Amino acid sequence: MPGTTTLEIEVTNVSGHCVWMLIDDEELALPYSEFPWFKAATIHQVLNVLRPTSDHLYWPDLDVDLSVESIRHPERFSLKAESTFQPCHTPNPPPSI
């Protein structure tokens, strides 16, 4: 009886500029400029990644689906999402009443 196939994936680093992932034996960067969903995400949200197929990554807490190919070559994928990042404060507070 065959065993369960596991697809290797691991978040190896989260920095101020990108998320690094080890996918099988390949380390790939997800820069926030190309993948803005991760910029304001919590560590828990970033670490909670699933790999349903060899070319499909899914972050259920962020509702983000990416192909591994889009991480390797983001320039080939013209559809871009706008970040929903909202700062915790505004640079100019509202006027006093």
Closest CA to 32 of 15, 44, 47: 15
Do 37 and 5 contact (CB within 8 A), yes or no?
no
Residues 79, 5: Cα–Cα separation, whole Å: 32
The ranges assigned to domains in the chain are: 9-76
The structure tokens listed for 81 are: 């999402």
The per-residue pLDDT string of the chain (97 residues; one tens digit each, 9 = 90 and over) reads 555 555 789 999 999 999 999 999 999 999 999 999 999 999 999 999 999 999 999 999 999 999 999 999 988 886 555 555 555 555 666 666 6
pTM of the model: 0.72
Please state, as a whole number, how many other Cβ atoms lie within 10 Å of the Cβ of residue 37: 21
User: Which CATH number applies to 9-76?
Assistant: 3.30.2020.40
